[in-house]
Structure 1
Amino acid sequence: MPIYAYRCAACGHADEHMQKLADPVLTACPSCKAESYQKQVTAAGFQLKGTGWYATDFKGGSSVAAPAADSGPACPGGACACH
């Protein structure tokens, strides 16, 4: 079951609630009883374990080409040839 973070816009009370996907969104703040309890956007938490593709292909290095050397900002306010 997913854990959702909620925060009250009226009193600032924040809490986490375990809910099913089909459960209705909570609106009443358990602290001040105002109808301003809102679900917050949070990052999904997961961890990859074992010897899967992520460990063999990406762990300890990357097969993606390295970015080009940084030559600084494109136009730092007059320090380039275009000014």
Structure 2
Amino acid sequence: MPIYEYTCSACGKPSEVMHKVSEQPGDCPHCGAPALVKQISAAGFRLAGSGWYETDFKTGNKHNLAEGSADSAPACAPEGCGSAGCAVNADG
């Protein structure tokens, strides 16, 4: 079940309520008033780490299917190559 964030329009206190999508949130846990208003917040889901898709869902030697990937691209000179997407130029 998802956790939703609400603010009570009667007492003004925020609260988190876990309920089904099809259910109503119920009354405010602080004051008991049926005045909860749903807040918009960021989801608690983040894809982090190195290669979460590459290493987790592909099998065998199918680690990089794209032609001309970053691993096979020629390296820039230490002072940069002058191209718009050069990482060395972006740092300086």
In the superposition, the TM-score normalised over structure 2's length comes to: 0.47
* 8 Å contact from structure 2 (residues 15, 29) kept in 1: no
Q: CA deviation at 1:19?
A: 1.4
Aligned length: 56
Q: Share of identical aligned residues, percent?
A: 43
> Please, which runs of 5 or more residues in structure 1 have no aligned partner?
58-64, 67-83
* Higher RCO, 1 vs 2 (CA within 8 Å, ≥6 residues apart): 1
* Bigger helix fraction: 2
In the superposition, the TM-score normalised over structure 1's length comes to: 0.51
Aligned mates of 1:14, 1:44 — CA distance in 2: 17
Q: Would you identify which runs of 4 or more consecutive aligned residues in structure 1 move more than 2 Å?
A: none
Aligned mates of 2:7, 2:45 — CA distance in 1: 23
RMSD: 2.6
> Please, which runs of 5 or more residues in structure 2 have no aligned partner?
55-63, 70-83, 86-92
